[in-house]
Structure 1
Amino acid sequence: MSTPRRKTISNEYIHRLQRRHFLLFDILPIVGTAIAVAFLAVHPFGLTELVLFLAMWLLTGLGVTVGYHRLFTHRTFKAAPSVSATLAVFGSMAGQGGLLSWVALHRRHHECSDREGDPHSPNLSGGGLTGMLRGLVHSHFLWMRRHAYPNIVHYAPDLLKNRSLVRVARLYYYWVALGMLAPALVGGIAYQSWTGAVSGLLWGGLVRMFVLEHIVWAINSFLHIFGTRPYASRENSRNGGIFSLVTLGESWHNNHHAFPESPSFGLDWYRLDPGYWLIRLLALFGLASDLKVPSKERMRTKRVTNNPDDAARGAAA
């Protein structure tokens, strides 16, 4: 009898890599943001810094939500190879982990959401205010220091078969570096000075990474405790519609957990979802297809009502 494949891997080598990534891409952006504020005394914040910050935030944010999350993790649509590669590069620039690791972690999160095995649930740290605060700190930030590593052979075999994506994924650290050097180069050219290059690096690189990280982490922490819950699901995901633009649609978190196969997280046209807007635009130009939006009937059956039997039926759907 063959030995069952392990779902997670834990050893000291893996944990050393996790600590290194935590220091480089979770702690360093905090330090970089503090330096950026201090550097204002040397080089004031201007239009160039604003454009670099917003452009890099938008590109890397869409790389995460449309690429890493909706395309590669949940396969909510199909994309042309060039689009897939581009989204993988922009998602890598966000510094939130290599493509294969990110997908494996997120698929395990959905498998075990708010239950034992969920790598970043805020709801497994005890009851009361103390347990809630401990859970929030863990799920928002500290879990990344050391955790069981999902086996990508188990959780992402489809991506392992895609040689072009694997080649992109292997260059993860180079893409992160490019995401830092590109705004530094633009800043240096725009201002014709070394201070402009440093300012571009700080605001288009480290500050942008800091802001995007905390936006994404807040979805896994706060939106598993606070917010609305219009659809039945077996975990504690919530919607935070007021944050839909800044999260590029990710804050429709209960909608997403109820219908993880949907490329639209807002589900309705009036719920702002910039990530889905990009997917629809790609589809318009023939670069995306097979968008798996749930039917109105399926959405209705999962809608939470005042009738417990309806909610139970929706959770089982």
Structure 2
Amino acid sequence: MTVAPVGTSSAPPRPQARPEIELTPKGNFEKVLMGIFIAVPLLAVVAAVPFAWGWGLGWTDLAIMFVFYAISGLGVTVGYHRHFTHGSFKAKRPLRIAMAIAGGLSIEMSVIDWVAVHRRHHKYSDQENDPHSPWRFGTDWRALTKGLYWAHMGWLFDSARTSPDKFCPDLVADKDMKKISRFFPGLVAISLLLPAALDGLITMSWWGVLTGFFWGSLVRISLLHHVTWSINSICHVMGEEEFEARDKSRNVWWLAIPSFGESWHNLHHADPTCARHGVLKGQLDSSARTIWAFEKLGWAWDVRWPNADRLASKQIS
């Protein structure tokens, strides 16, 4: 594994608002809510080991946690990311709606806000105005340590919001996506309460409600959040560089399974619209396999699968 070079150069200038970005302020209440949704699930993960030691975890809890992790995670990777942000494939309207709802269950952002931030990230990747580059404060080890925290979760508390009107006018004009984005608080409630309700109904017990909420909601949400944020932080600092990209994106193999193939991040930044990120032998990419299934079922088409000539031109020999 290689690590992106760290030097002693001074920090780059702090990102400034530009006309094409049109950053708008976030309210204090929104920041408090964001802090709660980060801290509480994280505390649940810290408590998970002693809670599970002999009495706090059952097969029902595991099944519900796995199913909701897969639905919400693939909603982000296949839906929010590869379809809505990069247009890696076209999808029928019911699938588009389902993917937007599934992504909302991750409690990361509404589909419109998520896409706006990610398109801005690609436009300015690891440069000024990238919303979450770990190289924001400089390249020496102290600055990079601070930058890793910023890229992982610190940027969520930034006082500015990326303008959807500038970065995803296509989704702003989409009536379905506008409705689903407005319903984001409802999706948050469903994501938190449905696992508990299902566990309680399956076990016919209030204990099942409690463990379902703990594992299927809190632990699942925290794990998914930190895996997603690791793509922003870890995958821009360490790992393998196998394709030429204009930024410091890297491939991190040990995140491939929990991230559904998103951690093959170097290829993604070298060829952003490609529907498959793990293009080399042995690179597991379950998001690409899901898109393949959608294509076979006739729900998706015009899939931008890897092009051998294009990959060869970008691959580092």
The two structures share one fold, judged by TM-score above 0.5: yes
How many residues align? The count is 300
- Contact 1:43–1:199 at 8 Å: present in 2 too? no
Report the aligned-residue RMSD: 1.9
Q: Does structure 2 retain, via aligned residues, the 8 Å contact 1:282–1:288?
A: yes
Pairs within 5 Å for 1:30-41:
30-34=42-46, 36=48, 40=52
Which one of 103, 122, 129 corresponds to residue 141 of structure 2? 129
Do the aligned partners of 2:112 and 2:177 also contact (CA within 8 Å) in 1? no
**1:169 aligned counterpart, secondary structure:** helix
Unmatched 5+ stretches in structure 2 = 1-17
The letter for the 1-side match of 2:21 is K
What is residue 263 of structure 1 aligned with on the other side? 275
**Bigger helix share:** 1
The equivalences for 1:167-182 within 5 A come to: 167-182=179-194
Q: Separation in 2 of the partners of 1:189 and 1:37?
A: 25
Q: Distance in 1 between matches of 2:199 and 2:266?
A: 40
Q: CA–CA distance in 2 between the matches of 1:239 and 1:37?
A: 30
2:83 & 2:147 partners in 1: Cα distance?
Answer: 29
2:314 is matched with which residue? 302
In 2, the alpha carbon distance for the partners of 1:141 and 1:185 equals: 30
Provide the residue aligned with 2:23 in structure 1.
9
- Identity among equivalent positions (%) equals 33
Matches within 5 A, 1:181-260: 181-260=193-272
Alpha-carbon deviation of 1:37?
Answer: 5.2
The worse-fitting range, judged by mean Cα deviation, of 28-37 and 254-263 is: 28-37
Aligned residue number for residue 5 of structure 2 = none
Superposed CA deviations along residues 4-34 of structure 1, whole A, max 9, x for unmatched, are 95513233xx242540342232122123334
- Whether the aligned pair in 2 keeps the contact of 1:80 and 1:287 (CA below 8 Å) is yes
Give me the whole-angstrom Cα distance separating, in 2, the residues matched to 1:21 and 1:258.
35
Distance verdict in 2 for CA 1:36–1:241, change over 3 Å: closer
Task: State the Cα distance separating 1:39 from its structure 2 match.
Answer: 5.0
Report the equivalent of 1:109.
Answer: 121
Taking the aligned partners of 1:143 and 1:61, their CA distance within structure 2 comes to 21
Question: Over residues 257-314 of structure 1, what are the superposed CA-to-partner deviations in whole Å (9 max), with x where a residue is unaligned?
Answer: 0010111111246421000000000000100000112421111111123xxxxxxxxx
SS class of match (1:118): coil
1:204-224 deviation per Cα after TM superposition (whole angstroms, max 9, x unaligned): 001000000111111110110
Partner Cα separation in structure 1 for residue 97 and residue 202 of structure 2: 29
Cα distance in 1 between the residues matched to 2:254 and 2:51 = 32
1:26 match: 38
TM-score by length of 2: 0.89
Work out whether 1:67 is the aligned partner of 2:85. Answer: no
CA contact (8 A) 1:245 1:273 kept: yes
Deviating beyond 4 angstroms after TM superposition, the runs of 4 or more aligned structure 1 residues are 34-43
C-alpha spacing 1:21/1:69, structure 2 compared with 1 (3 Å): farther
Which of these residues, 136, 155, 160, is aligned with residue 172 of structure 2? 160
Tell me, in whole angstroms, the C-alpha distance in 2 between the residues paired with 1:278 and 1:220: 23
